[in-house]
């Protein structure tokens, strides 16, 4: 852990720890109309996943003794000068300044002049098409807001880090309205339905590859905006109606409609990638086998029981209902027999082992591809918990949820806590999967 020894004598003014979830878009965001403010060319809609399986944990500490801002990601120090990080930091400090200037009574203790140290870890592979940047920047925005005492809407701050991050600020089903204003003030995330709305909904993440993707979403989007006529058509003529239809499917818990639209929208997003010049391809041959598996499974049942969606990577996110989970996992195990990791192939929620019926096996008609899927994470939409959407804490950092006090001023925890915490986090990240 590359933390300087001088840390041991520094006393942070405040230490805050928060966690944030991953979200998976069912109507995809792809393309910006403003690169700096990160304003999208279309609205998008996503499902926020349970933090038990996928989450980012971030600790931020501010101190008068810190001489520079510093950031660690998964135990490695990162360049704090990265434009996205800088945009979030500057935006938070601007909001904190605005709040202090608007204060009537005694001004709150000034933390604005303090530098910040931030340590963040994911409990899942980073940058592998598992929306790590969404959880990461939502968590950064929220943690910085708590530590600098900012209480306004954080869509703008999270969005400046990674567009899709603003959707991770809410649980359940969330839309990111593209907005119309040039300053982006109306480009905000909003909950469409709470996490408790559809308790039977289940999510399986089929990890095909945990490697970093070849074309990052920023570069990919820029290329698509410049060269893909399909992308323009999609944004103007397809997405508005799909947003309305997807909202209806969610509100009415119409799984068939939800599943069909999710697959169609994923396919159109990947079609725009192929329409980009030079073309971008995120799907691998295994991704395609998963697509065929889902369609054959649905055809066999004479109904749409399972849906796939793919972000900027080969990993599939599967939506299904609780009563179909076990059968579909059996179909996946048959089609992609696990290697030596049979016992740990399925992580997350418990799924009852089910035999694969002979008729379904015949209907799948697929030669098994051993090791094609590395592992599965079974999860669900995050249910409401006692702790609210984020957990944060003051005082000695602890792993795990704690009530969110929203105020951190007045405490002077020893920075040794931060040191220990960062160390614990990096150990947790290294050992998790």
Residue 168 found at the interface with ligand PMV (CB under 6 A): no
The span from the CA of 169 to the CA of 173, in Å, is: 11
For the stretch 186-222, what's the b/e string if a residue is b when 16 or more beta carbons lie within 10 angstroms of its beta carbon?
ebbbebbbebeebeebbbbbbbbbbeebebebbebbe
Chain centroid offset of residue 265 CA: 18
Site string for ligand PMV, 297-336 (x = CB under 6 A): --------------xx------------------------
Residue 162: CB minimum distance to ligand PMV, A: 4
Residue 142 found at the interface with ligand PMV (CB under 6 A): no
Stretch that binds ligand PMV, among 159-167, 200-208, 371-379, 414-422 (CB under 6 A): 159-167
Question: Which C-beta is closer to ligand PMV: that of 18 or that of 41?
Answer: 41
Which one, of 391, 372, 324, lies nearest residue 146 by Cα?
391
How many residues line the site for ligand PMV (CB under 6 A)?
14
Residue 205: CB minimum distance to ligand PMV, A: 13
Residue 162 found at the interface with ligand PMV (CB under 6 A): yes
What is the helix (H) or strand (E) element at residue 230, kind and residue range? Answer: helix 229-233
Which of 57, 217, 228, 379 forms a contact with ligand PMV (CB under 6 A)? 217
Residue 398: CB minimum distance to ligand PMV, A: 30
E strands along 64-169, which residues? 70-73, 76-78, 115-122
Which one, of 293, 317, 292, 295, lies nearest residue 304 by Cα?
295
Residue 25 found at the interface with ligand PMV (CB under 6 A): yes
Residue 44 found at the interface with ligand PMV (CB under 6 A): yes
Residue 111 found at the interface with ligand PMV (CB under 6 A): no
Question: Which C-beta is closer to ligand PMV: that of 226 or that of 398?
Answer: 226
Stretch that binds ligand PMV, among 28-36, 118-126, 243-251, 317-325 (CB under 6 A): 28-36
Which of 10, 12, 15, 28 forms a contact with ligand PMV (CB under 6 A)? 28
Question: Which C-beta is closer to ligand PMV: that of 123 or that of 133?
Answer: 133
Residue 133 found at the interface with ligand PMV (CB under 6 A): yes
Which one, of 429, 26, 38, lies nearest residue 217 by Cα?
38
Residues in CB range of 301: below 8 A, 6 or more apart: none
Question: Which C-beta is closer to ligand PMV: that of 135 or that of 360?
Answer: 135
Residue 56 found at the interface with ligand PMV (CB under 6 A): no
Which of 16, 29, 116, 122 forms a contact with ligand PMV (CB under 6 A)? 29
For the stretch 398-426, what's the b/e string if a residue is b when 16 or more beta carbons lie within 10 angstroms of its beta carbon?
eeebeebeeebeeeebebebbbebbebbb
Q: Are 51 and 21 in contact (CB under 8 A)?
A: yes
What is the helix (H) or strand (E) element at residue 20, kind and residue range? Answer: strand 14-21
Angle at 288 between CA 282 and CA 294, to 5 degrees: 125
The CA-to-CA distance between both ends of the chain, in Å, stands at: 20
Residue 163 found at the interface with ligand PMV (CB under 6 A): yes
Residue 80: CB minimum distance to ligand PMV, A: 20
The span from the CA of 150 to the CA of 105, in Å, is: 17
Residue 47 found at the interface with ligand PMV (CB under 6 A): no
Q: Are 263 and 307 in contact (CB under 8 A)?
A: yes
Stretch that binds ligand PMV, among 21-29, 59-67, 113-121, 403-411 (CB under 6 A): 21-29
Residue 408: CB minimum distance to ligand PMV, A: 28
Question: Which C-beta is closer to ligand PMV: that of 7 or that of 26?
Answer: 26
Q: Are 7 and 413 in contact (CB under 8 A)?
A: no
Residues of this chain that bind ligand PMV (CB under 6 A): 25, 28-30, 44, 133-134, 162-164, 217-218, 311-312
């Amino acid at each position: 852990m590359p933390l300087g020894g001088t840390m041991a004598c520094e006393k942070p003014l405040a230490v805050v720890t928060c966690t944030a979830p991953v979200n998976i878009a069912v109507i995809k965001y792809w393309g910006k109309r403003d690169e700096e403010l990160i304003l999208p060319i279309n609205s998008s809609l996503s499902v926020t996943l349970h933090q038990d399986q996928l989450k980012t944990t971030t600790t931020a500490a501010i101190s008068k003794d810190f001489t520079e801002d510093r950031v660690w990601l998964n135990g490695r120090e990162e360049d704090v000068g990265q434009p996205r990080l800088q945009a979030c930091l500057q935006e938070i400090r601007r909001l904190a300044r605005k709040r202090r200037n608007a204060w009537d009574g005694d001004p709150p203790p000034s933390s604005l002049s303090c530098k910040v140290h931030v340590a963040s870890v994911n409990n899942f592979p980073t940058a592998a098409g598992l929306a790590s940047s969404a959880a990461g920047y939502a968590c950064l925005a929220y943690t910085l807001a708590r530590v600098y005492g900012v209480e306004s809407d954080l869509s703008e701050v999270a969005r400046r880090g990674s567009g899709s991050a603003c959707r991770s600020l809410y649980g359940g089903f969330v839309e990111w309205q593209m907005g119309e204003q040039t300053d982006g003030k109306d480009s905000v995330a909003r909950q469409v339905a709470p996490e408790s709305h559809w308790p039977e909904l289940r999510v399986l993440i089929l990890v095909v590859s945990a490697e970093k993707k070849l074309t990052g979403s920023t570069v990919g989007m820029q290329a698509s905006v410049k060269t893909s006529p399909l992308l323009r058509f999609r944004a103007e003529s397809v997405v508005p109606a799909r947003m309305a239809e997807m909202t209806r499917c969610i509100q009415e818990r119409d799984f068939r409609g939800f599943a069909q639209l999710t697959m169609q929208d994923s396919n159109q997003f990947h079609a725009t990638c192929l329409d980009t010049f030079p073309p971008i391809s995120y799907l691998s041959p295994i991704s395609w086998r998963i697509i065929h598996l889902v369609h054959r499974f649905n055809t066999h049942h004479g109904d749409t029981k399972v849906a796939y969606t793919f972000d900027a990577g080969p990993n599939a996110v599967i939506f299904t209902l609780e009563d179909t989970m076990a059968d579909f996992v059996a179909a996946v195990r048959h089609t992609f027999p696990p290697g030596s990791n049979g016992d740990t192939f399925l992580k997350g929620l418990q799924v009852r082992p089910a035999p694969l019926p002979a008729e379904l096996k015949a209907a799948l008609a697929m030669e098994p591809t051993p090791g094609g899927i590395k592992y599965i994470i079974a999860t669900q939409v995050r249910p409401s918990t006692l702790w609210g959407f984020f957990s944060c804490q003051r005082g000695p950092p602890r792993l795990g949820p704690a009530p969110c006090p929203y105020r951190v001023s007045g405490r002077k925890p020893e920075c040794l806590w931060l040191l220990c915490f960062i160390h614990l986090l990096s150990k947790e990240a290294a050992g998790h999967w």
